[in-house]
Structure 1
C-alpha cells in the first residue's frame, strides 16, 4: 500500500527480525544451501509477521533489466465467467496500454485463500501497483498488501474501509434503491433469488440493503431462494421455479444479478406467467442481453468500464488515499 511514510519491507528487515544474516534469509527462501530447522522457522515467522514477499526479479534479472517489474500491474478478479469483470479489465487495459504498462491477471474464483496466494505471487514480481476486487481480504493478503510499499486500488465496492484507493459504488445503496423502486410501484409480496452470497460478498451487501429497506417500510422479504455455486441463467431459472413452488403468491422478485434474472424471465415465459402483471422481475448490472429482451429488464446499470479505467488512472497517480464513488443508474425497464 502506498504511503509516503511507509516503505516496502526488505530482505534486511526479515533478517533483522529473525536475528540472522541476509544471506541466510536468502538461502532459506530459495531453499538452497545449509541452514538449521530452527533458522528456517525463525525466517518463516519473520516473513509472516512482516508480510514480506520474495522478489523473483532479483534473482532473474540483472543490470539494466532490474527494474522490469516497474512496468507491470497486477490485477486480481473473482471471475471471467461474468461479463462484469471482463468489462472492468477492458476499462483498466485502455489506460494501462496507453501508459505503457502490462497487466498480469489472476482469477480467484471468489476464494479468499486463492486471492491471497495470487496477491503474493503477483507481488513477488514487484509490480508498479496492484488492482484487486472488493474490500474484504484475508489477514495474510492484507499483510502482504500493506507491506508492499506500492499503490493498491480496491474496485467495485465502497461499503467499508479501504487500504489505499477505492473506486466503485455502494452495493448496499443499490439494494436499498432497488427496494424503494419496487415499493413505489406498489409491490408488497416480494421475494429474492440469488447465488451464494457467502462467496460473492457484494451480492450479500445488496441483499442486506434491500431487506433492510423492505423491513423499514413494514414489508419484510417474504421468501428467498439461494442457488448453490456461481450465478447463471440456468441457476436463476431453476431457483425461481423452486421459490414460486414454495411461495406462489409473490408479486415481485429481486435477483442478485441480471444473469439470474434472465433465467427467471425464461421460467416465466415457460410457465405462462405474465410479466409484470403476474410477477415483476428486477435485476442488477444492466447487461446488453437483458436490455435486448422483448421486455427490457428493470435493473441497475453500473459504470464497469469507467471503474476499471479510473482504477488504472489512480494507480499511477500520487496523492493521499481516497474513495472515488462513480455511482450507478436505476433502469426502470419493462419488467417491474
Structure 2
C-alpha cells in the first residue's frame, strides 16, 4: 500500500510534459497556417499591407525548407505608406503552449513597430483579450510583453524576471496611458531588436492556462533540450520573463485568439512617441517623413522564422 502511494505521488509531482504538438508551421509549410491581411492598419500605421501575390512579387516573402523571410519595402520612397506584411492565423486558440523560433526580428530602426501577438475574435476588442508576446518601437533594446483587457484584470506579484511597468490590464485603467494594459519589460538585452539579432536570434514561448499567461525567452545558446526535441516541459524552464496572473480570471478575459505577426510604422505608438525619442526626432520632423523618405534604412526590418509550434 505504501509503495502504491509513493508511486502515485511521484507521478503527480514529477515534472513531465503534458503538452502534445498539434500544429507545426515551419519552413515551406509555414504559410499554410496563415492568411495575408491587406486592409487598413487597425493601429493607424503609415503602412500598406500586401496580399500574398504582391508580397511575393516584391520580394517581401521568401520561403525555404529551413526558414521563412518576411520583410518590408527597403527600395522605394513610400508616399502612401511603406509596404509590409501582416499575417493572421487561420485557426483560433484558447490555451496552449506557443513556441516561436526566430533567427532575426525587425527592430533597432526609428519608425518601426514590429509585433508578434494574439487577440480575441469577438469583434469587440478587447472583450476577448490581447496578448503581446514580442513588441517594441524605434530603437528599443528590450522586449515589452503586455495584456489588454476589459475591466477587472491586473498583474499580481508573481515571480518573474521582467519588470512590471504598469499593473492594470484594463485599456482604460486610471493612472495609466490609454491602451497600455499591463506591461512587463524584459530583463534581457538579447530579447529584442539589434541585441537579439547580433546573437543569432532565440526562442519565445507563451504558455496560456486558466491560471496564468507566462512568457519565456531563451537565447540561442540557452535553449532547453526539451524544446529542441519537441517535448517541451515549462515546469523545468525556471523563471519566466513575464508571469501574468494574480487578480485576473484568465478564462473570462481571454478566448478564441488568432496569432498575428506584423511590422507596421509610426501609428498609435511609434508615431506618438517620435518627438519624445531624441535619436529619432533628430532624423526628421515626423515619423511619417522619415519612414516615407528613407527606404534603405529599413533593410534590417525583417523577420526570419525557423518555426512556430503549437502544443496543447
TM-score range, shorter chain: under 0.3
TM-score (normalised: structure 2): 0.21
Larger-gyration structure (1/2): 1
TM-score (normalised: structure 1): 0.20
More contact order relative to length (CA 8 Å, sep ≥ 6): 2
Which structure dedicates a bigger proportion of its chain to helix? 1
